[in-house]
Chain A
């Protein structure tokens, strides 16, 4: 039976013996004699409550915490739309290319880094079918913001002040409407039709001289390819609205069909998804924002260019929206993605979409027809991911998608994404990726099948799960209630001293 480590590990600030210890020595220059001249009124009034521990205590503490965590290296993580593929270990070595270099160093001193960025700009343009890529964006959502701002500036340059509607598919990732709103746009949702695709008739009706663009991911969050994409592109381009590609789901078609060839004008990529960069517990990620035709002029700066055999990172597109991140994006992760691409080459990258789609449909073949689960919308092949609905199971047994998720944890599998997309009730969104061996997919399918059988026989057992994880089910009410919400230890401490009140 699978069991996760369970340590009664105190908080680092609760360590016994805390005080009079140090975890690392600070270098001292004894020959420099300078007195602190900081004006009295600027001085800190009391020391911060930061613990004093030995190196071993600190290391042991965090190692124990790591043992109570779960990553792709621990087990299968088929989180839909997150693309939790294997992260090749060679990437750790290659990221040393950039670790010691300051972003404001003279270009002459960082030619190797710039050459790598330049190659990445070009390779990602080829992979997406776009004309130019900027690596300014530190993550996918930052790429979306950049993309939407590019579209905004484009329309403003054309003096279209009354345009303010961004179209978003109702199944889209929450980041799409959030990014559109950050750019000051009204969000208009486009309904999904009975086949799980964008309702073209609705799109035709809604698209007007008020439309700035359409944010779409293809394949969509149901794992379905939007077959009418060329028609969608025509509808948008007729009013000179821009088609925006959310690259979160690119993995299912990588090397098979390119956003640029589908008619997209602006594309963001999540390098930490599609290109094997580790997710680090939710970051750092890395992104790219690519554009075609006249949209290239709006890319965030700077980009690398090559002049007389020398690379410089000072190319500013003529109508650039500006900078999205303080320096050049998460270059240490860009070099990880670079080594991932090198490790696959054209041949391997061209296989990714095929193999991840194969894995998804293989998993479907194992789960199709399981009592209580249904495959909503059409019967077409899914691409990167599949969304099952556990609505029937809930109706018949009281066991929800959440209960299935918690029971999967007990078996040493990470759960699928649940309750997303919003247009599927009791959604279980599974994305296996191309890196999981067939046998693991078999085991996962078996686990789900057994859990569903158990739901009909003995649902109570499932309601008590998980019990093999470090803690049991979480009390979300206490976590979020204004009288008990505790976002830091400081709040916990001040509350117990009666120094802070309910969060008003």
Chain B
């Protein structure tokens, strides 16, 4: 190999070795024990470097092995299909952003810092919370960080979580708190309303002195709004339990943001604010806290703040860095270094493009379409919603036949139905990318398969 587009010095090896004063490149590895030096080439399925054209051929080959659906899938479960405006993709493709690093030298990274400050500020307004960090990995890990943060503050080790929370988030939480030996206890939910059992929640909150925090997901995993959150929060405060609320960011132009409830910590995912599905990653974990020194100082992750330069000009820089791992090491609030900065910028651009009116219109549109879809599906004999509570974006339906039969029929028609929850139930997600015509097609296919199965 004597030339490669990414390796400019291949032809200068001799000259550079000479400047160093050695003869062979392996002289630079003379301190590596002989028995572990890899004296062979790595054994990868691709021996020679592929040209850019060949790389795209291979990627196209892989692309063709995945199935192109007729329409966006009707799946949520923590991430939902949405339309991403071209301007968002365009901005985050700017290579000054995209090839930059964590802004350790603020003077040369002002634009990046301002964009992240704007992300924090826009999310703060949407959530009505004062302090937002410059992002975490995703909702699940943001929740885990919030729970561990509460544990650091009050040293208690039980967290109450809703039984009707996102199961993937619950799995992540379980893994993260395992190290600290924390206990997760579930608050049951009411099978009629689809909402938390509020009485039980209150009872549980005062049942033990070891409860560190309580988590509420609004709307819950089945898309249903929790209606009596205030009482839980009040009870939690009375028992000095830290309150954490997980929210759907798009629902917040319609319903009460976490700040209005007075919760301590809010968590979410910014995927719905301008990110494609990305097969589940990157997403962007949102975390916000109230204006309270204890919360702010225990917050994980980077925070950008407003300040001045020595000439008195407005400037931005990373703040409160004594919380971070490079300063406090094992006493740090978290080990996080790489976050999802570019995705946070995508959120900032998205929120700026839509503005408060666009956000409200979008939320109303999603509300309308998801309700329409549910109503139409419920017109099919035997299909009904098990819950009474109002919902946003996602809804659970019960079918008269095994949902797998419906699902495989839909797939044959290149439509991807909802998430199977159990034999007869599935969770559907409907957003602005699903037109009325697409919804009607889905409904017709579901009706057809149910009628066929029942007839046979």
Contact = CB atoms under 8 A, between A and B. Distances in A.
A93 B10 CA distance: 26
Given A101-B277, A466-B108, A66 B96 contact: yes
B352 A281 contact: no
Interface string A462-483: 0000100111111110111010
A227 B340 contact: no
B146 interface: no
B23 interface: no
B130 A488 contact: yes
A433 to B, nearest CB: 10
Contacts of A492: 306
B290 to A, nearest CB: 10
Given A97-B63, A434-B6, 15 more contacts: A26-B361, A52-B357, A72-B100, A98-B277, A102-B81, A103-B281, A104-B419, A115-B65, A123-B44, A183-B180, A230-B36, A278-B95, A326-B166, A470-B110, A504-B292
A133 interface: no
Interface in B49-95: 49-50, 52, 54-56, 58-59, 61-67, 69, 73, 75, 77-79, 81, 83, 85, 87, 90-95
Contact of B371 (A34, A73, A491): A34
A344 B338 contact: no
B156 to A, nearest CB: 15
B45 to A, nearest CB: 7
Contacts of B48: 345, 347
Contacts of B30: 381
Contacts of A110: 66-67, 279
A358 B17 contact: yes
A175 to B, nearest CB: 5
B356 interface: yes
A345 B50 contact: yes
B196 to A, nearest CB: 14
A49 B125 contact: yes
B96 A73 contact: yes
B338 A285 contact: yes
A258 B320 CA distance: 38
Contact of A138 (B28, B282, B349): B282
A71 B96 contact: yes
27 contacts: A26-B361, A34-B368, A38-B225, A41-B227, A58-B87, A62-B352, A68-B114, A69-B100, A73-B98, A93-B59, A105-B75, A142-B141, A184-B179, A184-B180, A257-B37, A279-B100, A283-B342, A326-B283, A333-B281, A348-B1, A358-B28, A381-B31, A470-B107, A470-B110, A479-B317, A489-B117, A490-B124
Interface in A390-447: 405-406, 409, 414-415, 417, 420, 434-438
A314 interface: no
B392 to A, nearest CB: 8
Shortest 8 CB-CB contacts between residues of A and residues of B: A327-B280, A103-B280, A280-B342, A68-B111, A23-B353, A71-B99, A322-B175, A183-B179
Contact of A474 (B5, B141, B255, B315): B315
Contacts, number: 724
A238 B106 CA distance: 47
Interface stretch (A77-85, A202-210, A369-377, A449-457): A77-85
Contact of A23 (B19, B87, B277): B87
A50 B353 contact: no
Contacts of A362: 16, 19-20
A142 B179 CA distance: 13
A64 interface: yes
A134 B1 CA distance: 31
Interface in A179-236: 179-185, 187, 224-225, 227, 229-230
A409 B103 CA distance: 13
B165 interface: no
A79 B101 contact: yes
Contacts of A113: 62, 66, 279
B296 to A, nearest CB: 6
A23 B168 CA distance: 34
Contact of A12 (B25, B104, B130, B352): B352
Given A127-B42, A366-B19, A355 B47 contact: no
Contacts of A99: 276-278
A143 B116 CA distance: 25
A350 to B, nearest CB: 5
A460 interface: no
Interface in B355-392: 355-362, 364-365, 367-369, 371-372, 375, 390
